[in-house]
């Protein structure tokens, strides 16, 4: 049996500084199917070509940020025409395909869902641990997540070349999909009453981890089947999210090894 589903994850790796600028150039990159990591559009622009670009982005489920021209000028001093985008070093995988293929292989799904984890190195460290421990995918929101760049690739120690990353427009709908597919949503939060070791993690599991600043959003906590915490015995009140994720993943592996 395969260790995990295989997907064409990596495209030709782009340099972290490799970017596309100019309205027409970015528009054609989107139409060509290039993976866009981050799209920035000048806030006060609204000409015909910009409207065409926004419509094309929407049709391809690509979100964009409206930013002041000063931010674009800090990225490049060349004639960007109010539009700059960064290409992704990976190809994102649809969660529906990942999960379907996982079940087809007879595997017990293990998915890590990250709610607004914005630190690039935390994300890379989580990907490294998740890949090493046999997770089937990492799910991130299309907005408010760490940008997958050279630092993320380096911190993951190459794991992002093998582990599917699913970038979802609506994390709430994705959590509902995972629940409907038979996965238990386990929210790792200090608001829980029981430690992670007391949760039954032997079945299909989606580990929900929150942001470095304020944890898991309330709307996502409501969708969790189980809330669990990592016991803290020292004076410091919280763990780095990548460390907490590693502890939870090891608990899943421990329990599955005992069943």
13 pLDDT exceeds 50?
A: no
Going from N- to C-terminal start, the domains of the chain cover 19-87, 95-258
Do the two domains 19-87 and 95-258 of this chain adopt the same fold? no
What is the mean pLDDT of the segment spanning 87-108? Answer: 93
pLDDT at 59: 92
pLDDT in tens, 145-178: 998 888 899 999 999 999 999 999 899 999 999 9
pLDDT given at position 12: 37
Could you tell me the pTM of the whole model? 0.85
The domain over range 19-87 is classified in CATH as 3.30.1330.30? yes
Does 245 have pLDDT greater than 90? yes
Tell me the per-residue pLDDT of 177-231, one tens digit each, with 9 for 90 and over: 999 999 999 999 988 889 999 999 999 999 999 998 889 999 999 999 999 999 8
pLDDT at 212: 80
Region 44-57: what's the mean pLDDT?
Answer: 94
Q: In the predicted model, what is the mean pLDDT of residues 104-114?
A: 96
Q: Compare 90 and 184 and report the one with higher pLDDT.
A: 184
Distance of CA 141 to the CA centre of its chain: 6
**Average pLDDT over the chain, rounded to whole?**
90
Give residue 4's pLDDT: 56
The CATH architecture to which 95-258 belongs is 3-Layer(aba) Sandwich (3.40)
């Amino acid at each position: 049996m395969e260790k995990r589903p295989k997907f064409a994850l990596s495209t030709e790796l782009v340099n972290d500084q490799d970017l596309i600028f100019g309205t027409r150039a970015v528009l054609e990159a989107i139409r060509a199917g290039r993976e866009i990591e981050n799209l920035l559009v000048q806030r006060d622009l609204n000409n015909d070509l910009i409207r065409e670009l926004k419509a094309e982005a929407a049709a391809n489920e690509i979100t964009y940020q409206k930013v002041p021209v000063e931010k674009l000028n800090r990225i490049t001093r060349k004639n960007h025409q109010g539009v700059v985008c960064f290409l992704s070093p990976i190809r994102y995988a649809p969660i529906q395909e990942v999960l379907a293929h996982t079940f087809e292989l007879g595997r017990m799904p293990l998915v890590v869902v990250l709610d607004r984890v914005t630190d690039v190195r935390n994300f890379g460290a989580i990907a490294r641990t998740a890949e090493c421990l046999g997770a089937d995918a990492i799910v991130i929101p299309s907005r408010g997540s760490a940008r997958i760049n050279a630092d993320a690739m380096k911190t993951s120690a190459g794991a992002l070349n093998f582990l599917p990353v699913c970038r979802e427009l609506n994390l709430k709908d994705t959590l509902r999909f995972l629940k409907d597919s038979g996965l238990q949503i386990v929210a790792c939060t200090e608001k829980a009453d029981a430690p992670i070791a007391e949760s039954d993690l032997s079945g299909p599991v989606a580990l929900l981890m929150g942001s470095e600043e304020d944890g898991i959003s309330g709307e996502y906590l409501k969708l969790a089947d189980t809330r669990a915490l990592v016991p803290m015995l020292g004076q410091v009140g919280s763990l780095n999210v990548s460390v907490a994720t590693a502890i939870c993943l090891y608990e899943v592996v421990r329990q599955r090894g005992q069943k």
